[in-house]
């Protein structure tokens, strides 16, 4: 299958501009289709020590949750015998390390979610379960992860990011990060090191900074009023919105992207669009957020190797919108 560049996209009649619904009208996987058995097997070549590194926070972190999401609640109950105990969880999967599914965010101008779904298809009287998180769960997520450690680059170059404002990490920044890691940030087809189906991971340093703050300091930021638009009180570091970033994210054909920040992209957007619209709704690219990348970053720096095998088992919830990350790096 030939993969078009963003500049060559030609959506069908009725499809939004910049959409790339190229996998068929019944598709529920989007760019996870790029994780073919051949590519997954090839990704195993990045493993040298076999050490496993979980990338998920505890379910009750960060605390308090961002965006007004629910706090995690854990209950333990005896089943009436001294030797038998169960427990139960009550949570919003997006309050902690998580995946945004295709039902999470629509293309704002058209109202379309991935592959032409509408809000009525998701929660209307005749709603279906199309593109629910179960479609990912029954397949699994696996491939070659690539870490771009912006936080390490910023520290080395005395750059002071604003973690609690819409501080944008530019394409130029990512190129410099990659160069410092010995990576050519171009697709392999253009002579670079990015392979089709790679999973892009960007460490901003947000969680490292948050871990240095008191609960009260975090609450003053995490509990700000949330309203969609430029005046959103929820403001966080992330990948910036720009034409260069859009071309990079589209044309590299990543199978998924993720980061340690609350929205992956700088929030709120400084432009008239969000990366969420492009990645989720128009291109079918999963977004991971609030991943714990600290130990992985240390190990990659120690090995001087920034690729690894990454696997995730999304929650199998029919028609679900999101999932806890359940992600594991093997180095």
What is the C-alpha to C-alpha distance for residues 47 and 145, in angstroms, rounded to an integer? 11
User: In the chain, how many domains are there?
Assistant: 1
For residue 79, is the peptide bond before it cis, meaning its omega torsion is within 30 degrees of 0? Answer: no
Q: Hey, what are 186's tokens?
A: 């171009």
Smallest CA-to-CA distance from 95 within 59, 121, 51, 123 is with: 59
Smallest CA-to-CA distance from 290 within 96, 101, 72 is with: 96
Smallest CA-to-CA distance from 37 within 165, 168, 197 is with: 197
What is the C-alpha to C-alpha distance for residues 33 and 39, in angstroms, rounded to an integer? 11
Q: Mean pLDDT across the stretch 105-117?
A: 97
pLDDT digits (tens, 9 = 90+) for 120-162: 999 989 999 999 999 999 999 999 999 999 999 999 999 999 9
What is the C-alpha to C-alpha distance for residues 154 and 54, in angstroms, rounded to an integer? 24
- Look at residue 210 in the predicted model and tell me its pLDDT: 98
* pTM summary value: 0.97
The answer to whether residue 1 is domain-embedded is: no
The answer to whether residue 184 is domain-embedded is: yes
pLDDT digits (tens, 9 = 90+) for 245-278: 999 999 999 999 999 999 999 999 999 999 999 9
The model's confidence at residue 38, banded by pLDDT at 50, 70 and 90, is very high
pLDDT digits (tens, 9 = 90+) for 295-316: 999 999 999 999 999 999 999 9
- Look at residue 81 in the predicted model and tell me its pLDDT: 77
pLDDT > 70 fraction of the chain, expressed in percent and rounded: 100
CATH number at residue 20: 3.50.30.50
Expressed as residue numbers, the domain containing 69 is 6-330
Is residue 36 within 8 Å of residue 30, measured between CB atoms?
no
């Amino acid at each position: 299958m030939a993969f078009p560049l963003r500049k060559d996209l030609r959506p069908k009649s009725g499809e939004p501009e910049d959409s790339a619904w190229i996998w068929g009208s019944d598709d529920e996987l989007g760019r996870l289709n790029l994780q073919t058995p051949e590519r997954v097997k090839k990704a195993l070549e990045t493993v040298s020590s076999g050490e496993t590194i979980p990338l998920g926070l505890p379910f009750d972190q960060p605390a308090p949750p961002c965006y007004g999401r629910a706090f995690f609640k854990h209950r333990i109950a005896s089943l009436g015998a001294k030797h038998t105990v169960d427990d139960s969880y009550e949570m919003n999967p997006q309050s902690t390390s998580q995946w945004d599914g295709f039902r999470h965010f629509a293309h704002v101008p058209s109202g379309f979610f991935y592959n032409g779904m509408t809000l009525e298809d998701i929660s209307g009287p005749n709603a279906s379960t199309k593109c629910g998180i179960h479609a990912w769960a029954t397949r699994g997520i696996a491939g070659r992860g690539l870490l771009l450690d912006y936080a390490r680059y910023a520290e080395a170059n005395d750059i002071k990011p604003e973690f609690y404002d819409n501080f944008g990490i530019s394409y130029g920044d990512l190129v410099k990060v990659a160069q410092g890691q010995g990576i050519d940030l171009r697709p392999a087809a253009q002579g670079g090191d990015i392979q089709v189906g790679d999973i892009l991971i960007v460490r901003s340093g947000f969680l490292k900074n948050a871990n240095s703050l008191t609960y009260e300091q975090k609450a003053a930021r995490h509990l700000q009023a949330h309203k969609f638009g430029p005046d959103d009180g929820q403001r966080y570091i992330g990948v910036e919105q720009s034409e260069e970033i859009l071309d990079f994210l589209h044309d590299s054909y990543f199978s998924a992207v993720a980061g340690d920040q609350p929205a992956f992209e700088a929030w709120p957007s400084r432009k008239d669009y969000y990366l969420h619209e492009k990645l989720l709704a128009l291109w079918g690219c999963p977004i991971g957020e609030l991943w714990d990348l600290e130990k992985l970053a240390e190990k990659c720096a120690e090995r001087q190797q920034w690729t690894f095998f990454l696997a995730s088992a999304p929650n199998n919830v029919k028609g679900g919108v999101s999932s806890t990350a359940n992600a594991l790096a093997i180095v």
